[in-house]
Every structure is written in structure tokens, then in C-alpha cells.
Chains A and B, each alone.
Chain A
């Protein structure tokens, strides 16, 4: 237990020396959990990338590694999904949220040991969960494969994180609630609710499918997306040095996301054996996502306008703005995919796989990468050693995801059209995807190389390798110190 903070509620802009002292105190309280969450996430990113690349290669070499059940496609693919969703994306986003919250509410993190325990629990869940999947133990539900006894660990971890964040915010010394706080607070409440409910073994048959997709889409919509947006709302104004364009727009974006995104799940059941009114409800909610998406896009755009030049100087801004732009595009794509006439072609195809990577990687992943580049120098008091490694990471990741998404979008659409035409044999729908699946492997390989560079660079910075710098390596050729520690 940490000491109760003094009951001082500041005006929205306290004197600079107090603000700085608060920030130092905030950062000190989060150092341990942030480092643990962010380093663990990098390990799971590497594990997940390698599993994903191996699974992708199996489409070119279906007889490769078929000697044992451990490395069959169905298990490698599932290890990939769980490693990158729960290990990389979730742990990284929680680490970033833990770092942001005390800064935003000007109060130290409540009981940092709780967050440390949550991080260790989360790692245990990943380790046992992925091993179980490789051994063939699975609950058999997409996004909920890890066996229920192991799920208890992450449910407890999620609960601890919720307590930690809720009490930290309750101890706030600001009157104003910045929009990032809204998103983080809500997602920390949402995760335990949806995860525990979805794992209750109360449902069978199609009802279970309903709960499955209520969870599956909300893991994105009520956990990953709000944490990703909360981060973008923090870093974009912070780096360009101007407040967010419109407070009211961000409010509209938050509540419409909470209301509509939570109802999206059943567009995964379009055409399926389920009461049509429920599916129609989800399709409607999916199209209504236009409101939160437009509100967020407009808000970011008007915050950035006139400052796009800063993209050259800040790797964080480059990644985060790219992620925010991809959020808009992938969300619009998602709205169309939910509509019956499009879903008829795209459902059951590789297009969906492309869409999922576009969202989780292009949007959330890029924002996470950007946040790492901002947070780490402030946590370890050391600059990133190499500007070139950051550039290589950015361009390989961007080229990789572009190839990945474009290939699977075109390939998936052709696959769907072949499948709809009963005059063509089913194998046509398989054969037409093959060149696109090969391109996907190339994209995935570029992303994996980017992650290996990033992981190596991460290892360098947390061990304070390279020479001590007075300003970021990124801006060696320019005297731009916007990202110096402590600023």
C-alpha cells in the first residue's frame, strides 16, 4: 500500500514546478510495472511473429513440419493469435496505460505491486496458455482458446489492473478528466466483465457462438481499441504541442464507441443459423461506427493540421499518426464488410484475415510502437541508441503490413467470388488465393524482421547500451529536441 496522496486538487494548470514534481512522482511510481509489461510484450511479439510466419509458410509448403501434432497449422496459427493479442497487444497497451494514467491525473500509481503482480500473472497465463495450445488443450472457441483453468489467472490479473487504475484515478489531483483517462478507465472495467462472462460455461450450440462473438469483437472494440485511441489522444497533442481540437467531439467519439462497438459482434454470424434480428442489430451498429470513427478522425486531423512537418522529427508521431490514419481506413472497411451484400462475398475468406491484421497491427500495433519510442527513454533515462534502427523498423513494418493487407484483400475477394459461383469447383477458390497467400508471407516476413530489429533495439535501450546522448539519435542530423527526456 502506498501512502494516501495529499488531498490537494489543483486548478487545471498548476505552477510549472509543481506540475514537473508531480510528473516525476508519477513516473517513479510506474517505473517497475511499465518496464515489466513493456519488456514482456516484446518477448510475446517475437514469439507471435515467428509462429505467424511459420503458419503463413505452411500455405506454400503444406507438407512442411507435419511430423508431429505440436506444429500443425491449426495450433501454430492459434499460438500466433493468442501471443500477439494477449501477449503483445494487450500487455503493451496496459503498460502504456499504466504509464499514462498517473501523469494524466497527477497522482502516483496506486500500489505499484498490484500492477507488478498483474504483469507476472499475465505472463504465467501466456506461458501456460501457449504451451497448452501447442499440446492440443484448447477450449475450441476462437479468441478464447486458452483453457478455462488458466484463464482464471488472467481474469485475476485483469481485475488487479482494474483496481489499480480505478483507485489511481480516484486519487486524482486534477479536476479535468482528459479523454485518454475516459478510454483507459472504461477499458479496464470492460475487460474483466467481458472476459469472465464469455468464459462462463453456461452456453451451448449457437448460443455459445453468440457469446463467443460478443466477446471476440469486444476484445477489440472495448479493450484494444479504446486503449489504442486513448494512447493516440495522449501522444498526438503532446508531441505537436497543442491541445486536442475539440473536447466535445472526443466525448461524442467515446460514448458512441461504447454504445455501438459493443453491439458489433454478430456481424460474424451473417448468413448463419441465428435469429436474423440479432444479426441485423449488429450490422446496424457496425454501420453506426461511422460516428465514433468520424469524430476521432476529424479530431486528430484538426489537431495535426499545419503540424504534419513534425512527422519528420518524431518517430513516435510518425507511428502514432500512421496508426490513427489506419484506424480510420480499417474502420470504414469494417463497416462495409458488415453489410450483407459485401459479407456474402467476403465472409469465410482471407479478406477477413487481412482486415483483422489491418486493425490490430496497422492501428493498435503502430500506436504501440510509437508509444514505446516515447516512453522508454523516460523510463530508463537513456536515448534510443540508433536512429537507423527506428527508420528500418518503421519502413519494414509499414511495407510489410501494406503488402499483407492489399494481398489478402484482393485474394480474399477473388476467393469469395469463386466460392459464390457454384459453376466453378471449390478448388478454384483455393487456387486463386495462392499467389496472394505467397505475397502475404512476404509481408509477414518483413514485419517479422522489423520486430526482430525492434526487439534488439529494445534490449539495447533497457541495458543502456551505446553512447550517452544529449538528444535523440533519430534527430542526429537535426537539432530537434522535442523528445528529450523530461520534456
Chain B
């Protein structure tokens, strides 16, 4: 073989070999994992909220993976039980995340159960958590002179809303909070052998 073919073959081989090791083999292994019944598929509203989550880029600051107690303080912080592959069965795209500029959200629905809290926090994070670096998502809300029938009025700490106005959640905000409230993966995981090698 001349050098040309050596490089060509070598390049194709290394890329395919890496894919085989890093993606194909683990997929074979994980396909054998038994699904957990308590994990429900997302509702339509939650899926719409998940799309808002992706579109706003929440994943760049919030992870969705709780690490084992031997590896970090996630559980001591009350972020829930460690995550396993079967917890992500309905996730497309995956939102594991690589950054924790904000806290992990794998079980945020178990920690913050109040819709009001989420609305206020999305509208102005610093009204709830002083010093927070999260952007305000006030464009997910409408500011009106008075609420109309069917409007979901957001309760805000004093001084947060524009004076004399009411703040109303849009459909996007509603769905996003549906999604966040549904983030609860604390159901028990019976079979410790379900993920070999973990």
C-alpha cells in the first residue's frame, strides 16, 4: 500500500473504531436495560415546555444529571437520587448538560413544587435569589393594565412588576413551568444490576 492509501484507511479506521467503542458498544449494552415503569412519557404540554427550555439555551447553565454520592455533593444538596440511563428514556434531544452556572434540574419539580415560584423566578430571578446570574425571561410574560378573564396573573415580590400593571404568563411560560414541575426522577430504582459497570 502506498502512503496515500495508508492515510486514507487509517483515518477511516480510527474514526469508525472510536465510534464503535464510544457509541455502538455502550448502546448495545444500554438497550438491554429494563425500563422503569414509574417514568412516564412527557405530556404534550411538557414537551412544548421542553422545547422552550432548549430554545432559550437553559442547558448551557443547568445540568440534568445527579452524580453519585461518592462523586460530588449532589445528594447532600438535596438534588435527588443519582441518575441512571433509564431515567432518560424519553429524552430527545438529551439535556445532560456540561455546566452548573446554575443548579442541577434533574429533580427541580420535586424541590420547587410551586408554579408561582417558577413564574416569579423566570420573570426576575434576582427578586427570588439575590445575586443570581440567570437572565430575566420577562419576554415570556405580558405586562398589562389589568388582567382579563382566563389570564394567569403572576404573583411577584413587591417592586418587581412595573407600577400599576399586572404580569401575565404566556403559553410558553406556562408550558415551560409544566415541564419543570414534571422534572422528578426520584422514583425508586429497584435493580442495582440494571446498569452493568456502574
Interface residues in chain A, defined as those with a beta carbon under 8 Å from any beta carbon in chain B: 58-59, 62-63, 66-69, 72-75, 77-78, 136-142, 166, 169-170, 177, 182, 185-186, 189-190, 193-194, 197, 203-214, 218, 222, 255, 258-259, 262-263, 265-266, 268-269, 271-278, 281-282, 340, 344, 347-350, 352-353, 419-422, 426-427, 429-431, 434
**Does B26 lie within 8 Å of A185, measured CB to CB?**
no
A12 to chain B, nearest CB (A): 14
CA A214 – CA B58 in complex, angstroms?
A: 22
Does B116 interact with chain A (Cβ within 8 Å)? no
Does B80 interact with chain A (Cβ within 8 Å)? no
**A58, A59, A206: most-surrounded residue (chain B CB, <10 A):** A206
Does B164 interact with chain A (Cβ within 8 Å)? no
A–B Cβ pairs within 8 angstroms, 17 of them = A66-B139, A67-B139, A69-B56, A73-B135, A74-B135, A75-B57, A140-B54, A142-B60, A204-B94, A206-B96, A222-B15, A258-B10, A273-B88, A277-B197, A282-B22, A348-B97, A352-B98
Does B1 interact with chain A (Cβ within 8 Å)? no
A468 to chain B, nearest CB (A): 42
Please give me the 7 A-B residue pairs with the lowest Cβ-Cβ distance, nearest first.
A74-B57, A422-B76, A205-B88, A262-B18, A136-B55, A422-B73, A348-B100
**Does A207 lie within 8 Å of B27, measured CB to CB?**
yes
Q: Which residues of A contact B38 (CB under 8 A)?
A: none
Does B133 interact with chain A (Cβ within 8 Å)? yes
Q: Which of A59, A142, A189, A352 contacts B8 (CB 8 A)?
A: A189
Stretch with Cβ within 8 A of A (4 or more), from B40-48, B63-71, B150-158: B63-71
* CB within 8 Å of A: which B1-54 residues: 3-4, 7-8, 10-12, 14-19, 21-23, 25-27, 29-30, 54
**Does B93 lie within 8 Å of A141, measured CB to CB?**
yes
**Does A271 lie within 8 Å of B68, measured CB to CB?**
yes
Does B85 interact with chain A (Cβ within 8 Å)? yes
Chain A-chain B contacts (Cβ-Cβ < 8 Å), number: 226
**Does A262 lie within 8 Å of B88, measured CB to CB?**
no
**Does A72 lie within 8 Å of B197, measured CB to CB?**
no
**Does B57 lie within 8 Å of A78, measured CB to CB?**
yes
**Does B11 lie within 8 Å of A186, measured CB to CB?**
yes
B29 to chain A, nearest CB (A): 6
**Does A62 lie within 8 Å of B100, measured CB to CB?**
no
Q: Given that A136-B55, A204-B94 are contacting pairs, would A66 and B138 also be in contact in the complex, using a CB cutoff of 8 Å?
A: yes
Query: Majority SS of interface residues in chain A?
Result: helix
**Does B99 lie within 8 Å of A352, measured CB to CB?**
yes
CA A281 – CA B59 in complex, angstroms?
A: 26
B162 to chain A, nearest CB (A): 13
* CB within 8 Å of A: which B57-114 residues: 57-61, 63, 65, 67-68, 71-73, 76-77, 82-85, 87-103
**Does B56 lie within 8 Å of A136, measured CB to CB?**
yes
CA A318 – CA B10 in complex, angstroms?
A: 33
A442 to chain B, nearest CB (A): 17
Q: Which of A141, A262, A276 contacts B198 (CB 8 A)?
A: A276
CA A142 – CA B98 in complex, angstroms?
A: 9
Q: Which residues of B contact A350 (CB under 8 A)?
A: 101
Given contacts A74-B61, A210-B27, could you give 7 more A-B pairs where the C-beta distance is less than 8 Å?
A67-B139, A73-B135, A177-B4, A205-B85, A273-B96, A420-B72, A422-B77
**Does B14 lie within 8 Å of A259, measured CB to CB?**
yes
Q: Which residues of B contact A268 (CB under 8 A)?
A: 98
Does B126 interact with chain A (Cβ within 8 Å)? yes
**Does A214 lie within 8 Å of B96, measured CB to CB?**
no
Does B196 interact with chain A (Cβ within 8 Å)? yes
CA A48 – CA B73 in complex, angstroms?
A: 36
Q: Which residues of A contact B195 (CB under 8 A)?
A: 273, 275
- For B56, give the chain A residue with the smallest CB separation: A74
A116 to chain B, nearest CB (A): 25
B52 to chain A, nearest CB (A): 9
- For A189, give the chain B residue with the smallest CB separation: B11
Q: Given that A197-B19, A208-B93 are contacting pairs, would A272 and B197 also be in contact in the complex, using a CB cutoff of 8 Å?
A: no
Q: Which residues of A contact B23 (CB under 8 A)?
A: 203, 207, 210-211, 214
Does B134 interact with chain A (Cβ within 8 Å)? yes
**A77, A190, A273: most-surrounded residue (chain B CB, <10 A):** A273
Q: Which residues of A contact B54 (CB under 8 A)?
A: 138, 140
A472 to chain B, nearest CB (A): 35
**B14, B63, B197: most-surrounded residue (chain A CB, <10 A):** B14
Q: Which residues of B contact A262 (CB under 8 A)?
A: 14-15, 17-18
CA A258 – CA B103 in complex, angstroms?
A: 36
**Does B133 lie within 8 Å of A59, measured CB to CB?**
yes
Q: Given that A66-B138, A210-B27 are contacting pairs, would A205 and B91 also be in contact in the complex, using a CB cutoff of 8 Å?
A: yes
Q: Which residues of B contact A348 (CB under 8 A)?
A: 63, 97-100
CA A283 – CA B27 in complex, angstroms?
A: 19
CA A430 – CA B15 in complex, angstroms?
A: 39
Q: Which residues of A contact B30 (CB under 8 A)?
A: 205-207, 275
